[in-house]
Amino acid sequence: MSARERVAGQVANYVDERTGSAKWLKKTLTKVFPDHWSFMLGEIVLYSFVILLLSGTFLTFWYDPSMREVEYEGSYQPLSGLKMSAAYASSLHISFDVRGGLLMRQIHHWAALIFMAAMVAHLMRVFFTGAFRKPREFNWIIGVGLLTLGIVEGFLGYSLPDDLLSGTGIRIAEAIIQAIPVVGSYLSFFIFGGAFPGEMFIQRIYVVHILLLPGIFLALITVHLMLVWYQKHTQYPGPGRTEKNVVGYPLMPTYMAKAGGFFFIVFGVTAFLGAVASINPIWIYGPYNPGQIGAGSQPDWYMGWLDGLVRMAPPLEAYIFGYTLSLNILIPGLIIPGIIFTGMALYPFIESWITGDKREHHLLDRPRNAPNRTALGAMSI
């Protein structure tokens, strides 16, 4: 035994005698993970979230969350001398005057799209294979919560540049808020700091976007991973696989090596997209003006179904006790999404109640072997 190995052993023994960590580490490092490509969808969610944190931290160094009016004096000449908010001016500064700024902006945006796409795909995998069944109902609820928060977080981040396109989305959101019975107008004035567009909205959503929601994300993801660790992994049926075991590879060194390499693959693909595929060119849209709207404006893909609901709603209004209810905004903007996400969260309990199945499940279903669930999921998509 070399001197280095002897010192390492002494240090490990010293720590173990005081913390009892050897037994826990032995169990942890030999934990088995199943080997199937569909389990990598959840890893993409986690890794893209890490990329979002890293790229978002970079952007905060130069972004100015202020709605005060400034005159643009940056290097993008078509907008030179134009009056705009400090938030929009700082976004242009990041894009054109900060070295690597445009790349980081686009990496951040692409990572957000990948994050949402991977989360939807991961939830679909969990749903169609029945991985939400007992004892994993709480993890399913956490997943639905993460999806909901992801939509809100993406919308807020999309709104921060204060360009014409993002301002259009904010105006739609303000209309949905005002459609809430009784408290809608008061809530709108509170959020915007006065009549739309107000003077406080960007500052407030900036705090929510970079502090509040990421903190909730970190907490929910941590609880999600802890439950996965404690409840053990599900696996597909196969030779030697039962409800009481897990067939796969140990955490160290196999799984960690594969997971580490996969993280850099996800990071590399995201960076490649940020380098070669332009996304959200805010300099083309110009600063937000409440009296203007871009032709053909549309949100990111994960908000498209909400935008479509609002656009398709017929012009309905109701008058109750002298108050006007804008049902053409309230129903598609709040009620239908509320029903959808509540139904998603409660589905494990609904299926268990209908089928009478109260058993624990660690082996996954093939979608073809659960035709009713598969049909319902396909219809919902």
In 3D space, the residue among 220, 198, 42, 45 whose CA is nearest the CA of residue 126 turns out to be: 42
**Strand 69-71 to 83-85 pairing:** antiparallel
Tokens of 247: 């067939």
Three-state secondary structure call for residue 326: coil
**Strand 248-250 to 83-85 pairing:** unpaired
Q: From the CB of residue 166, how many other CB atoms can be counted at a distance below 10 Å? A: 25
H/E element, 311 = helix 304-312
Domains located in the chain, CATH noted: 37-286+353-380 (1.20.810.10)
Instruction: Give the DSSP letter of residue 333.
Output: I
| pLDDT tens series, the chain, 381 aa | 677 777 777 777 777 777 777 777 777 777 888 888 888 999 999 999 999 999 999 999 999 999 899 999 989 999 999 999 999 999 999 999 999 999 999 999 999 999 999 999 999 999 999 999 999 999 999 999 999 999 999 999 999 999 988 888 888 889 889 888 888 888 888 888 888 877 888 999 999 999 999 999 999 999 999 998 888 888 888 888 888 888 888 888 888 888 899 999 999 999 999 999 999 999 999 898 887 777 677 888 898 888 889 889 888 888 888 778 888 899 999 999 999 999 999 999 999 999 998 998 988 999 999 999 999 999 888
Q: How far apart are CA 235 and CA 28, in angstroms?
A: 19
Query: DSSP secondary structure string, 82-147?
Result: -EEEHHHHHHHHHHHTSTTHHHHHHHHHHHHHHHHHHHHHHHHHHHHHTTTSTT-HHHHHHHHHHH
Which residue type sits at 171? R
Q: Which pTM value belongs to this model?
A: 0.91
For residues 5, 7, 11, 17, the Cα torsion angle rounded to the nearest 10 degrees is: 90
Three-state secondary structure call for residue 171: helix
**Strand 248-250 to 32-34 pairing:** antiparallel
Long-range contacts from 235-241, C-beta under 8 angstroms, 24+ separation: 235/34, 235/36, 235/362, 235/363, 235/364, 236/34, 236/36, 236/129, 236/363, 236/364, 236/366, 237/363, 237/364, 237/366, 241/363
Q: For residue 281, give Cα distances in angstroms to 48, 166, 168, 206, 286.
A: 22, 11, 15, 20, 10
In 3D space, the residue among 262, 280, 306 whose CA is nearest the CA of residue 118 turns out to be: 262
Q: Which pLDDT value is given to residue 1?
A: 62
